[in-house]
Amino acid sequence: MNYRHIYHAGNIGDVLKHIVLANILKYLQKKDGAYRVLDTHAGVGLYDLTSEEAQKTGEWQQGVGKVLENLGDAPGPVKEVLAPWLETVETLNPGGGVKFYPGSPEIACMLARKQDRLTLTELHPEDFEELKNNYGGDKKVKVIALDAWLALGSFLPPKERRGVVLIDPAFEVEDEFARVADGVIRGWKRWPTGTFAIWYPVKNFSAVRQLIATLDEAGIRNTVKIELSAGKVSKDAPMKASGMMVINPPWTLTKDMNTALPWLCKTLTQGINPSWNVEQVIPE
């Protein structure tokens, strides 16, 4: 396991993923009943963008950095969709700018109400220790050094019977899409009414098509694909295009992403033909 998310924190992929996650959580809060967040690939939770690692790639400057720089130009409805995520960034950086960037555990933790619960799993030994230091003392949070694919078999369905599973692999290994499909199907069979949000890089369109076909064949319904590409750039450049596959999304998510993505796409453009797309890929 070589992947460390500190090199990529706050990049264009994180921006998309975290806006979607924060909106799902805000939707769950429309009811008083407690919910559970299972974050299967948690990372460390909180990132210092002035660290040597984050500065080395500077990926955040093309992601959260650009969003904050251009926020003044965003139309009101776009700001409303970004608000649940931005709230967490702004809370960490009360003086403005962005030194600290919230990973998915921090977003889930900050937005959680007193009745909500989080289960975070992380396999990298050093990242797990940091994650445990960050959240181990919080009674709402369970931090576990466990393989994500086992977590999907062990912790579902949650006793709250409401909530979201975030699946955010590092995509370091060749067959990651197949592992994702297998893990999601096992998790969904245990909890068919849960919301599953899966992040993936868009490098290979056939891998994404295959993932959708496999989920569909397994009987999964009601799935939305949300993609954002900053434009076509050279092969070895950092990741520029990614997507979220959301099973059982809040009914508001499609409309909200259709509102925010045109502005995000324009703001985060880097190469030729930037694009965005929101599509119901498996019907209800």
Q: What are the residues binding ligand SAM (CB under 6 A)?
A: 1, 3, 5, 14, 17, 41-43, 103-104, 121-124, 127, 147-149, 168-170
Cβ contact 99:48 at 8 Å: yes
Give the pairing of strands 163-167 and 36-39.
Answer: parallel
- C-beta nearest to ligand SAM: residue: 103
For residue 128, the minimal CB distance to ligand SAM (Å) is 8
For residue 201, the minimal CB distance to ligand SAM (Å) is 10
Shorter beta-carbon distance to ligand SAM: residue 35 or 280: 35
Q: Is 256 a catalytic residue?
A: no
**Smallest Cα–Cα separation from 145: which of 158, 128, 131?**
128
For residue 271, the minimal CB distance to ligand SAM (Å) is 22
Shorter beta-carbon distance to ligand SAM: residue 14 or 59: 14
Shorter beta-carbon distance to ligand SAM: residue 68 or 282: 68
Report the residue count for the chain.
284
> Among the residues of 12-123, which ranges form H helices?
12-28, 52-57, 64-70, 76-92, 104-111
**Smallest Cα–Cα separation from 247: which of 165, 180, 147?**
165
Which of these is catalytic: 14, 127, 168, 256?
168
Cβ contact 100:48 at 8 Å: yes
For residue 267, the minimal CB distance to ligand SAM (Å) is 20
Question: Which H or E run includes 34?
Answer: none
Shorter beta-carbon distance to ligand SAM: residue 116 or 127: 127
Q: Output DSSP code: residue 252.
A: T
What residues are labeled active site? 168
